[in-house]
Amino acid sequence: MIKYQGDDIEFNIELEKIYKGDVESFNNFVRIVLYAYTDECFVAKFSSQYNFYNKLNIISPTLITGVIKSLDTMKMRGNLFFDIMFESESHIGDLLENSIKRINTGIQIINTPIKNEI
């Protein structure tokens, strides 16, 4: 899918249980942080807990959503990736366990001179 620099990009990420033992709910995590970035390495950060990050919405136990704002996509070019860090409580004291998942969104952000005129 092609998007242009300066476009808002809405995204939805649905949790799918594929194997026995897979996590069934985003509610199982203490913290979820998402980095959206491209080949040009500009990063837009999202979280449902941190006020200084873009808003990551937990819509249901299996669905999170967000919007990469046009001010951020203006600095992006190339293939769009998401890195998501999930933190859950450990059974050993106050430690947190981290898991990181990388997603290739299939979205390519390109530049067009006409978009700059709008």
The DSSP-derived string for the chain is -EEETT--EEEEEE----STT----GGG-SEEEEEEE-TT--EEEEESS-TTSEE-EEEETTEEEEEE-HHHHTT--EEEEEEEEEEEE-SSTT-EEEEEEEEEEEEEEE--HHHHH-
Which pLDDT tens digit goes with each residue over 15-38?
877 666 667 788 888 889 999 999
Q: If you average pLDDT over residues 45-53, what whole number do you get?
A: 91
Residue 71, domain extent: 2-117
CATH number, domain at 19? Answer: 2.60.40
Which pLDDT tens digit goes with each residue over 78-103?
999 999 988 877 666 666 677 888 88
Please state the pTM of the whole predicted model. 0.82
Q: How many domains does the chain have?
A: 1
Range scoring the smallest mean pLDDT among 7-16, 93-102, 105-114: 93-102
